[in-house]
A and B are shown apart, each in its own frame.
Chain A
Amino acid sequence: MFEATELNLQNQRRERLFRTLFLAMTLLLILPVVVILAMLVYKGGPMISMDFLLTEPTNGMTAGGILPAFVGTIWLVVVALIASVPIGIAAALYLSEYAPDNWLTRAINLAVINLAGVPSIVHALFGVGAFVIFFRFGTSILAASLTLAVMALPVVIVSTREALQAVPQAFREACWSMGATRWQTIRKVVLPNSLSGILTGVILEVSRTAGETAPIMFTGAAFFLPFLPETVWDQTMALSLHLFVISTQVPEVPEALPYGVALVLISLVLSMNAVSIAFRVYLRGKKKW
């Protein structure tokens, strides 16, 4: 008959202690954020109304709504997507379907990792130097969105590559053995089987770009513009910059107003993120292979 020795018991106690300790650390990491989010909802919640979303800021941004900032953020995100998604998918296709294992591929991978690590304010400087000044786009939605697009490129590349690589190699081989070219294989087999995975990455990119502030500060986002942008050459307000402006630059803003803006911004970002995650979980459950 097995009987627990003193050593067994000691080990058990020790394991329980560590388990509890690590659980406590995990919770301590998550808890403050939950409390903070609750405070945002509590203080910003009363601000949220259709009026808040659909009117312009008034009284030197100390009252009124956030319509131009909200619409501006949508403009910035959409133009950034149009610019970055095709390039990102092409890059991922190259890395997943074409790239041989050589120094160039390693260099590309390294560049993608580094691009993701470049500080956002350096992206802003690049946007000013390249798009605003060199390409003469001026401070405009176009310049700001292209800056965001370069910044978000690694997100698209990495998530798309993952989606492509999740397609089993046997699918490709079956297609090649029928005499299909690489591109025919990609278009008829690889892309249809990974499209939803790619979409997940794109939604994730929306969530990232919507919250960025530094890259758009000097490239196209304006402190205050009480009308809606009409073309990509216009400047625009943006939710993220609006939050920065009314919480640091404008005097006598009522306390609830920035909480309201923060709540709208974070709801937008987190809901997009949640959609992306839910989509991914759903796909994993549906997978046929």
Chain B
Amino acid sequence: MSHSADRRDAAWWVDRAVQSLVFVGGISGILFIIGIFIFISKEGYGFIVSTLDFGEFFASPRWRPTSSHNPTYGALALIAGTASVTGLAMIVAVPFSLGAAIYIGEFATGKTREYLKVLVEMLAAIPSVVWGFIGLSIMNPLIIELFNVPVGLNVLNSGIILGLMAAPIMTTLAEDALKAVPDTYREAAEALGATRWQVIFRVVLPAAKNGLVAAILLGVGRGFGETMAVLMASGHSINLPTSPFDSVRALTATIAAELGETAAGSEHYQALFTLGIFLFIVTFVINLTADLVVRGVRKQRP
């Protein structure tokens, strides 16, 4: 080697500077996720330490933050609202998105496959406020007419809307999980004389199991955190739902609907941030679990 090992010219220093700059960008993701937690906690913690009664929060369905003499902050009905809508959405979305992922990943070929993938990707791009509007203006009269009920803004409506919203994302993720199964697995099974459906059900699906579970979990997380569509299509009444035709109010929708009416720093305002902290933690745990499940797959495979 002709040049010396110590080469601290201008280019070296520029390289160093860029490296530090890029590193700051690199850790920005961590900084923002911590920042989000710190800032929503900062606005909400006054309520958590002084007013919040955990028993009431998780067990009482009475969310009456605006009551002048005795405001109560029971989030049970809101949690039930979110859970019922998300649950119905998953009942709608899981089978269809898994079916679609299997068709796109295992049966469709060439151009058809590309077109279907693009179409699914476009569906995932429709903004949630447009979905909410669809729930309000198209699904609502449809449900009233089909089921002969007085109001069509309910668990059924928002569950279907949310299902249609979550399905494209779950389809894409599930298809990725199927694609991650090496072709050698399929070829080995086919060489043993397995039919196409045996290959899919006995080899590909079991091998992709973790990825599929992660796809479903991320779908659940998305449903849990969806705001505008649920705000507009669920009927907005605080209720412990007993049938799909009951109107409910979700956690996210409550924040969206009430934050504008509260004074910054008031008890009600802090309570809404507390709901936000709860949402943040739940979605964080769901995403973390999905990541761990996927990681489990990678560890197993040599």
Contact = CB atoms under 8 A, between A and B. Distances in A.
Given A128-B259, A244-B232, A91 B19 contact: no
A177 to B, nearest CB: 12
A282 interface: no
Contacts of A136: none
Interface in A245-289: 247-248, 255, 258-259, 262, 265-266, 269-270, 273-274, 277, 281
Interface stretch (A51-59, A64-72, A118-126, A192-200): A118-126
Contact of A118 (B96, B97, B100, B280): B280
B221 interface: yes
B42 A129 contact: yes
Given A26-B100, A244-B232, A273-B125, A265 B130 contact: yes
Given A93-B25, A121-B227, A183 B19 contact: yes
A94 B29 CA distance: 12
A162 interface: no
Given A30-B120, A87-B25, A119-B227, A262 B15 contact: no
Nearest to A104: B27
B232 to A, nearest CB: 6
Given A90-B25, A247-B232, A213 B197 contact: no
A112 B25 CA distance: 12
Given A128-B43, A179-B3, A244-B133, 6 more contacts: A33-B126, A117-B218, A119-B280, A124-B259, A214-B228, A270-B125
Given A208-B125, A243-B130, A270-B122, A115 B32 contact: yes
Interface in B126-159: 126-130, 132-134, 136-138
A132 to B, nearest CB: 9
A247 B19 contact: no
Main secondary structure of the interface of B (DSSP, over half): helix
Interface residues of B, number: 89
A19 B102 CA distance: 9
A233 interface: no
Interface stretch (A149-157, A165-173, A224-232): A149-157
B128 to A, nearest CB: 7
8 contacts: A21-B99, A111-B32, A125-B259, A126-B36, A211-B128, A214-B256, A262-B133, A277-B121
Nearest to A241: B129
A117 B25 contact: no
A81 B104 CA distance: 33
Given A117-B221, A218-B259, A258-B133, A122 B291 contact: no
A2 interface: no
A269 B14 CA distance: 39
B138 A269 contact: no
Interface in B52-96: 95-96
A212 B127 contact: yes
Contacts of B164: 29, 32-33
A27 B92 CA distance: 14
A119 B225 contact: yes
Contacts of B24: 90
A115 B33 contact: yes
A277 B122 contact: yes
Contacts of A114: 33, 283-284, 287-288
A182 to B, nearest CB: 6
Nearest to B15: A181
Nearest to B23: A94
Contacts of A207: 125
Interface of A: 11-12, 14-15, 18-19, 21-26, 28-30, 32-33, 36, 39-40, 86-91, 93-95, 97-99, 104, 107-108, 110-115, 117-126, 128-130, 133-134, 150, 153-154, 157, 179, 181-184, 186, 207-208, 210-214, 217-218, 240-241, 243-244, 247-248, 255, 258-259, 262, 265-266, 269-270, 273-274, 277, 281
Contacts of A113: 287, 291
Main secondary structure of the interface of A (DSSP, over half): helix
Nearest to A259: B137
A117 B104 contact: no
Contacts of A21: 99
A33 B226 contact: no
A49 B280 CA distance: 42
B302 interface: no
B202 interface: no
Given A22-B100, A25-B100, A129-B40, A117 B125 contact: no
B248 to A, nearest CB: 16
B83 to A, nearest CB: 15
Contact of A122 (B99, B125, B128, B225): B225
A223 to B, nearest CB: 9
Contacts of A129: 39-40, 42-43, 273
A147 B200 CA distance: 43
Given A29-B100, A262-B133, A94 B128 contact: no
Contacts of A241: 129
Contacts of A107: 30
B18 interface: yes
A37 to B, nearest CB: 8
